[in-house]
Copies of this chain bind each other. A is one copy, B any other.
Amino acid sequence: MKHPAPPFEYSIGIDVGGTTTKIGLVDREGHLLDRLSMDSQATPDARQYSAKLAELVQTMIRTHAAEGKIQGIGIGAPGVDERAEVMAAANMPFSEPVPLAKWIEDATSLPSRLIKDSSAAIIGERAFGGAKGMDHFVLLTLGTGLGSALMIHGKVIGGANGLASEYGHSPAVPDGRQCNCGKKGCLETYVSATGLKRTVFELLATMKTESPLRDADFHHLDARMIFDAAESQDPVALEAFRYTGVILGRAIAGLIVLLDPQAVFLAGGLIHAGPRLFDPVKESIETHLLPMFQGSCPVLPSQLGADDTGILGAAAILWDDPKS
């Protein structure tokens, strides 16, 4: 933070996503008092995007008469280079790296910080979620892709080059599915909303059972339809969740033997599947985990709620600063 200050009542969290950018007013207990959002793809002009974002922030502050009560603005975004403090995500429409915190700070005169969305999420989980008091845990976010973050000895692990925690691209299946990254078998090609859909298509080919999922083409099938099918006991959907859990459990077993964390938290839309996902995950961990670790590390759903994790985490970085 550039302007150290005593703790104020509120902070602003900004969650930059490929589709939507969300802005929230958050108090020190992690209550989300208000939220606004805007289209992330509306303009390829980063200056315009930033100006619009600053405007929404100002609106929010005015609405709540929160002038002078704001600790600062935390921004979590994909593709952040935390050293250069710029955002350069492939799924954003901007052609150049964007120094978003600097621009927002200039526009609002509030201290602003830009960090990776995954770092924001893990800081938020510790500040406001299920990891309160933990210094040593892992957060995996199962969204369109698979995000990951590590906290070790109370610090978010950034790595030697600021690139750490890309566990979604750890090789999970030898010679497996093609990944966006150009490699094969990456964990996120199985364990993510997209991975779940790919698994359904594999199962529609290998299984013969009738399924409502046979009515959707690849482009139209989405996680919501698979959730609904599972809800009505569709064997294909149920098997897809089970298979996802098996692969995820195996990957978590690998994390546990390496890092011996206090807990692994799962976040993101897929965790709404509840026991349909968590049960096979736990079973697979038991199948693959070195016996001396059995029972050492619970796998828990994030306590921040799938939708607001990003905002809360971004807001938390102004108060809780375990960045290394």
A155 touches B (CB below 8 Å): yes
Do residues B166 and A250 form an inter-chain contact, with CB atoms below 8 A? no
Q: State how many copies of this chain the complex holds.
A: 2
Cβ B171 vs Cβ A250 within 8 A:
yes
Distance between A47 CB and nearest chain B CB, rounded to angstroms: 26
Given A152-B157, A153-B153, A157-B152: A257 in contact with B293 (beta carbons within 8 A): no
- Chain A interface residue count: which class? 35 or more
A130 proximity list for chain B (CB < 8 A):
none
Interface flag for A167 (CB, 8 Å):
yes
Asked if A169 CB lies within 8 Å of chain B CBs, one says yes
The residue that A166 contacts in the complex, of B158, B183, B290, with Cβ under 8 A, is B290
Interface set, chain A 280-304, CB cutoff 8 A to B: 287-293, 296-297
Does A1 touch B at the CB level, under 8 Å?
no
Which of A166, A261, A292 has most B Cβ within 10 Å? A166
* A-side interface mostly: loop
Contact B290 A183 (CB under 8 A): yes
Q: Which residues on the B side are within 8 Å of A165 (C-beta)?
A: 258, 260
Q: Most chain-B Cβ atoms within 10 A of its Cβ — which of A148, A258, A288, A289?
A: A258
- Binary B-proximity of A249-280 (CB < 8 A = 1, otherwise 0): 01001110111111000000000000000000
The answer for the CA separation of A157 and B256 in the assembled complex, in Å, is 12
Does A164 lie within 8 Å of B290, measured CB to CB? no
For the complex formed, measure the closest distance between the CB of A155 and the CB atoms of chain B, giving whole angstroms: 6
Indicate whether A257 sits within 8 Å of B152 (C-beta atoms), given known contacts A136-B159, A181-B291, A288-B183: no
Does A206 make an interface contact (CB < 8 A)? no
Q: Tell me the bound Cα distance from A157 to B174 in angstroms.
A: 28
Q: How far in angstroms is the closest Cβ of chain B from A101?
A: 22
Chain B proximity of A135: nearest CB distance (Å): 8
Q: Given contacts A261-B160, A324-B153, are A287 and B170 in contact (CB under 8 A)?
A: no
**Which residues of B lie under 8 Å from residue A293 when comparing CB positions?**
163, 166
A259 and B150 CA atoms in complex are apart in Å by: 9
- B257→A167 contact, CB < 8 A: yes
Please, how many angstroms separate the alpha-carbon atoms of A38 and B296 in the complex? 36
Proximity string of chain A (306-324) to chain B, C-beta cutoff 8 Å, 1 when within and 0 when not: 0000000000000000001
Give Cα A258 to B159, complex, Å: 8
Residue of B nearest to A292 (CB): B163
In the complex where A287-B183, A290-B166 touch, is A160 in contact with B258 (Cβ < 8 A)?
no
